[in-house]
Structure 1
Amino acid sequence: MGKVENPLAGILKKQRRWVNQALIAAVFSSILMSGCQALAAGGATVQEDLPVVGSYGNLKQWIEKAASNAGGYGGHKGGVAMEAAQPATKANTGWAERRTVMSAPTSAPPAPAADMPAGADSSGAKRDHSTTNVQVEGVDEADIVKTDGEYIYQVNNRRVIIAKAHPAGELAITSVIKFDNAFFAPREIYVDAKHLIVIGSGRDEAFPVPYEGTSTEKRAMIVPPYRPYQGTVKAIIYDIADKAHPQKLRETTLEGNYVSSRKIGSSLYLIANRYLGVNLPEKETPEVLPWYKDTATGADKARIGYDQIRCFPDFMEPNYLIVAAVNIENPKESPQLSTYLGSGETVYASTKNLYVALHTYRGPVFRIMGGERAWPQTAPEEKTRVFKFALEGAKTRYVGMGEAPGRVLNQFSMDEKDGFFRIATTVGSPWAQGDETSKNNLYVLDESLKPSGKLEGIAPGEQIYSVRFMGDRAYMVTFRTVDPLFVIDLKDPKSPRILGKLKIPGYSNYMHPYDDNHIIGFGKDTIEQSITDNEGRVIGTNAYYQGMKMAIFDVSDVEHPVEKHVAFIGDRGTDSELLHNHRALLFSKEKNLLAFPVQLMEVDKQTGAASGEKPSPVPAYGSFAFQGAYVYTVGLEKGFELRGRITHLSDEDYQKAGQYYYDSEKFVSRILYIGDSLYTLSNRMIKAHGMDALEQRGNLAIPGE
């Protein structure tokens, strides 16, 4: 079987860690499952069936049991009595019950329009402008740049810039939002007709700091017996009626690490993991419990009590998963927090439900045989656990849990339609042989997250590089040495089936719908080379990635999909944020417009190598040649037609660039449009160009911090 140079460093790194992670996680899985699983076994669970942690004694015994078994590799040592740990009832849930039992789902009301909303022309009509490229229509995703049709909002290092963007010839900075907390770093934003929401990461303001004294005293101050370093997630809501003077309305802070967020109408949903660890103190300390702070409820931290924390069945990691819902329209309404003993990694949201996925390993464990440790002979079982939450305005309600074999690639591996949840996974490793080699699967779960249908064993030896669900179809790209595009029929949830496939060189990292019968793939081109032994015999093949590749796939004939148009950018090493982050794409079918940032690498065409390198049988990396926006006219008749390129780098910048890369604050990160003007943004500049001829219309320099 051929081998491939892995073009995704993250996946390769993950595979290299696979054995250690698997063994450690297997131990934790088999140990911890005896805790909550015994209390909430039996299929999908609902909120009222999840046990309440209840006390520090319960929490400590679960975690201590995990730690002792992991340290001794000893297996099960008998039952552990849990004080008052039982399925929640109206008698014992108290505050948690009142906060989590909701009324029937209601749609979030749209924000009321102002007399003359931003982005409107003199007649009051809404000016045409682009929006963030999101997975699900109606479910907004945070990004580093937003526009309302008149102003541009940008996360710019440790501040947020608000710039007047229309008309294009009058670009100007309106205001700069800076943050008092030196440890707070804005990461993403949301914008609607009335509000700017800044989401960022920080650290606990009360974290001990060094002081004058002996080294022993300093260590005691900085590293107490139990005080794991914890990050914080903060959402700051501003009133932007006056763009020159944004008014802070509210701050919501969660202790933990930021996982993701979504915004639907006036409801903001924040997801965080708060690390707990296994080395809990002998006696209870406040730091064991997570805290939150919200200006709607007061300036002080509020600890989330044991009676407010529920336990996922068979929880796999010693963390708290916190799901917070915030009403943006009412700054005095308390946030609704749901806290669970468990963890989460990947988030997908429809307009009705939020799904949090977690990659887990299960079994086998070390056992003592004849006084010696017996090393497990089989690989652990990979699964993705999915927790479902109903979205009911500014409230969430835990619905249940399901699972599927394997691991998901990203949020596009998940989808919901007509109450069914669809999930695509990869199990095993493409570098393994035999039964442990990778396989790809698609599962359909019902409303209760119970199995409904499955399609397993797709493309053995390969792994998923991109997935896109579109109505009753799914498109899956797997890769090892070639790029098979699979068209999968999902009309019958109980019986998904492959309709057709197309094998071509390269692979797609991201797929974007063009229309019902066409899809655009963005990824890398590849070339194959034979692997020979010392005697010159061919024993396999390697696939080496090259420059970027775009393709329009025609799936009108589902049994015979066709690569209708293709375009290539640069040579080996060429990259784009679009390949890792779908929000970097600007696409408008109506305007035949396609644009995204590119870092271009080119190989010397005469020598076949990067400048200064000798030719090699292994394809050479290119030298840095360009960074900026590639702007295309795209259509079904002619495919991809390059309108032009826009860069923020000067000739002098290019002269200073190194051979392989040039790190600059003037790298274009996003492209958007307002009216008939195209805007490119970097941390040091906003440029405006005509959408058709790309003539420059405006230029705004952004000073450094």
Structure 2
Amino acid sequence: MKKKKVWIIVSISVAVIGLMFVFFNDKVSVSASSVALTEQGWKANFSSSLHQDAIDKGDVYITDAQGDQVDVEMILHDNGKTLEIPVITTGEYQLHIKSEALKNNFMKSLVRREISFVVQERLEQLSDEEELRNYFAQLMEMEQNNQRYGGVIVESGEETAESTDSAAGESEGTGGEDYSTTNNQVAGVDEADLVKTDGSYIYSISESRVIISDIQNPQQMAVAAELPFTQETYPQQLFLSDDTLVVLGSRFSAMPIDDFRLPRSQLPQLGITSVDLYDVSNPESPQLIREFGTEGNLSGARLTSNILYFVTNVYPDYWILEEQDEPELRPHRYDSNNGGDLEPLPYNSIAILPGTMEGSYSVITTIELDAPETNDISTKGFLGGSEQLYMNEENLYLTASAYTPLSDEEMSDSREMAMWMPQQANTEVFKFGLNGTTVEFLASAEITGSLLNQFSMDEHNGYFRVVTTEGITWDLTSPSKNHLFILDGQMNQVGSVENLAPGERIYSARFIGDKAYMVTFKETDPLFVIDVSAPSSPKVLGELKIPGFSNYLHPLDDNHLIGFGYDTKLVPVKNGEPRVVTGGMKISLFDVSDFTAPVERDTEIIGGAGTYSTLQYDHKALFTHQERNLFGFPAALYEESAGDYVEFEGEGALIYTITPDGISQAASLIEQTNNQYEDWNTATQRILYIGEELYTVANGEIKSYDLETFEPISSMMFDK
């Protein structure tokens, strides 16, 4: 009996302690941007619901800089946790929340009862250090008071790398000259790549150097020059603009700190995106003419009208505010024309993007390459991280995740489990206008769901189109769904098609003129054909369900589309749902001449499970020769053997002839091997043609072939 009483007392004590834990720790935090624009309004997200009548009762209200209450429209969204002020004039404001506004103000209490924000007519630059420090201090407070903030799980798809309209929306894989160019998303906008050519020389990255190969005689190729880099610098991407070779790289540099008392070797390191400009008017003797760079990881780079644009992401250690009085929280840059020393951006080159509260910068750098030695470099920093980049000749778009709170029902099951539940991610899209080297923020919008990659976005006739996936495919209680949104030039939503393919997510997308194509997948591959000719009323015209899925979609002509992806099959499972098993690589030829009834006209299955191509995550790996109807890609071939094992068969390149009539293999440049593993040094990275020859480029070698017969001509190994 005594033991029973003890257990009862213990149980009661645990319950009381648990109740006290909830009472004292279940604080309600608020996340909100510190900047808003008049045309776009302002939002605040709460970690717990408010009463629907909290606004009418005066439990939530706004005051201006003088402390006077302001009469503005406030909208509480259906989830009870998002408060929106759609229209508000310029000025400084405070949002006030009384505890009575909370649905459960006995068990919960507010961490912040007042939230300050400023409304601007247009995006304004920072004025001084104090404004920047206040931004990061507010962000730290949000993170400290909300354990869920920044610690979310977001499902991501298999990445494919990263107008004039994209009006045609067509890739640019061949130029006016008789040689390959990069497979770009938007005509007229070049994308950085591992390999470039001018028709006489091939410029390629080989580990920590750039090799310039003379291929004017395909039978006797030779290394014309080698551009070595220091151990701190690693070349990543290339551009070729007339006689200027642009080498984008990554390196680490010591942070400039005054009065640093430890050895210089112990200075904190900054990650830098470096740019080296070479004069290659004589490729046999390239001359370094300028070095500059911007702090951060390279997010994306484009070249159009002889102007280089690149974006980096910078993640400052703002928690150092707890240890230092005046830490440097601005992004850094350097330029050999100014001595080459790292220096922080001036405050008037930094702005806070509206609608976001991120602890990272998007830094946009531009330079015109007509006179690369002397032209000014423009660098602007925007507080608000970027993930995906889309650009045409007029505008640049960056995206960032925007996390919305879970509902009270989702949080009520278990506090511990709720900490690990995926939080729904929406997407902030930021639009920048391009005028030469001037980049100006124009507008932003928040859309439901998350993007797969750059092909999820497109601009056509002044309208921005985007497809997203909302939710998590493995969340059975709230299945994922997919959407298409159309926004006007001011980033206001004008049309949408929503809730497509429940329980699936987007694997690839492509906008081509007035049509949008989207592939989703879970057990089969639905290809959706969507009419977007009327921006206010897009509609699904047709849907095709087939085994497998496409990672990348490429236009063949007005009525045909090529999909590159994987074959799949359903394997029975005893006493359970069939299991989806991925097989070999798959090429699909889609006939969309009847938009209401798309057809898979032909297919090609390559190898067994394990077979893959870099094309499935990097569209720039696609080789095209439009006149000859040739399409090619690097490939590593695996075949299935007894006992469900797969064996490596070889690697190299595959070339196909693809016409509206079907798919046929033109050549297999796969080299069979007895090795058990792939050789990174000789694995094909890119395929290109120059005149009547085909070339495969690897990290350590180049091979030439006859473009008509695909017979080998010669090969050249690079010296190690």
Residue of structure 2 in register with 1:697 after alignment: 713
Query: Which of 672, 694, 697 in structure 2 is aligned with 1:681?
Result: 697
Cα contact 1:32–1:315 (8 A) shared by 2: no
How far apart, in 1, do the equivalents of 2:686 and 2:146 lie?
51
How far has the Cα of 1:298 moved from its partner? 4.0
How far has the Cα of 1:408 moved from its partner? 0.4
Cα contact 2:35–2:120 (8 A) shared by 1: no
How far apart, in 1, do the equivalents of 2:444 and 2:523 lie?
36
Residue of structure 2 in register with 1:630 after alignment: 654
1:546-625 equivalences under 5 Å are 546-604=583-641, 609=642, 614=643, 620-625=644-649
Q: C-alpha offsets along residues 308-348 of structure 1, whole Å, 9 cap, x if unaligned?
A: 31111232320121111111112212211221111101101
Residue of structure 2 in register with 1:306 after alignment: 347
Query: Which of 454, 479, 485 in structure 2 is aligned with 1:443?
Result: 485
- SS of equivalent to 1:68: helix
Q: Residue 484 in 1 paired to residue 526 in 2?
A: yes
Q: Residue 424 in 1 paired to residue 471 in 2?
A: no
Q: Residue 35 in 1 paired to residue 34 in 2?
A: yes
- Cα gap change, 1:64 to 1:300, in 2 (>3 Å): same
1:247-396 equivalences under 5 Å are 247-281=287-321, 283-285=324-326, 287-330=328-371, 331-364=373-406, 380-396=423-439
**Number of residue-to-residue matches in the alignment:** 591
Cα contact 2:255–2:270 (8 A) shared by 1: no
Higher strand share: 2
RMSD: 3.2
Cα contact 2:297–2:313 (8 A) shared by 1: yes
Cα contact 1:364–1:376 (8 A) shared by 2: no
278-287 or 685-694, which deviates more: 278-287
Q: Return the TM-score normalized by structure 1.
A: 0.78
Q: Which has the larger radius of gyration?
A: 2
Q: Return the TM-score normalized by structure 2.
A: 0.77
How far has the Cα of 1:531 moved from its partner? 3.1
How far has the Cα of 1:206 moved from its partner? 4.8
How far has the Cα of 1:34 moved from its partner? 4.8
How far has the Cα of 1:449 moved from its partner? 0.8
- Cα gap change, 1:308 to 1:31, in 2 (>3 Å): farther
How far has the Cα of 1:223 moved from its partner? 7.0
How far has the Cα of 1:350 moved from its partner? 1.0
How far apart, in 2, do the equivalents of 1:373 and 1:542 lie?
32
380-389 or 416-425, which deviates more: 380-389
How far has the Cα of 1:354 moved from its partner? 0.7
How far apart, in 2, do the equivalents of 1:357 and 1:132 lie?
24
How far apart, in 1, do the equivalents of 2:612 and 2:336 lie?
43
Residue of structure 1 in register with 2:207 after alignment: 157
How far apart, in 2, do the equivalents of 1:570 and 1:73 lie?
49
How far apart, in 1, do the equivalents of 2:581 and 2:633 lie?
24
Q: Residue 242 in 1 paired to residue 282 in 2?
A: yes
- Cα gap change, 1:62 to 1:75, in 2 (>3 Å): farther
Q: Residue 668 in 1 paired to residue 718 in 2?
A: no
Residue of structure 1 in register with 2:131 after alignment: 58
How far apart, in 1, do the equivalents of 2:716 and 2:694 lie?
14
1:96-175 equivalences under 5 Å are 128-175=178-225
Q: C-alpha offsets along residues 73-120 of structure 1, whole Å, 9 cap, x if unaligned?
A: 4999xxxxxxxxxxxxxxxxxxxxxxxxxxxx999xxxxxxxxxxx99
Q: C-alpha offsets along residues 603-629 of structure 1, whole Å, 9 cap, x if unaligned?
A: 13xxxx3xxxx3xxxxx3521001001
Residue of structure 2 in register with 1:84 after alignment: none
Question: What letter matches 1:407 in structure 2?
Answer: S
How far has the Cα of 1:441 moved from its partner? 0.4
How far has the Cα of 1:201 moved from its partner? 0.6
- Cα gap change, 1:696 to 1:494, in 2 (>3 Å): same
Cα contact 1:359–1:408 (8 A) shared by 2: no
Cα contact 2:123–2:441 (8 A) shared by 1: no
How far has the Cα of 1:454 moved from its partner? 0.7
Q: Which has the higher contact order (CA 8 A, sep 6+)?
A: 1
Residue of structure 1 in register with 2:55 after alignment: none
Unaligned runs of 5+ in 1: 1-26, 77-104, 108-118, 121-125, 212-216, 534-538, 615-619
How far has the Cα of 1:193 moved from its partner? 2.2
Cα contact 1:465–1:478 (8 A) shared by 2: yes
Question: What letter matches 2:534 in structure 1?
Answer: D
59-68 or 311-320, which deviates more: 59-68
How far has the Cα of 1:61 moved from its partner? 2.9
- Cα gap change, 1:223 to 1:451, in 2 (>3 Å): farther
Residue of structure 2 in register with 1:112 after alignment: none
How far apart, in 1, do the equivalents of 2:536 and 2:492 lie?
11
Question: What letter matches 2:331 in structure 1?
Answer: P
- SS of equivalent to 1:299: coil
334-343 or 666-675, which deviates more: 334-343
How far apart, in 2, do the equivalents of 1:198 and 1:174 lie?
17
Residue of structure 2 in register with 1:474 after alignment: 516
Cα contact 1:238–1:246 (8 A) shared by 2: yes
Residue of structure 2 in register with 1:532 after alignment: 574
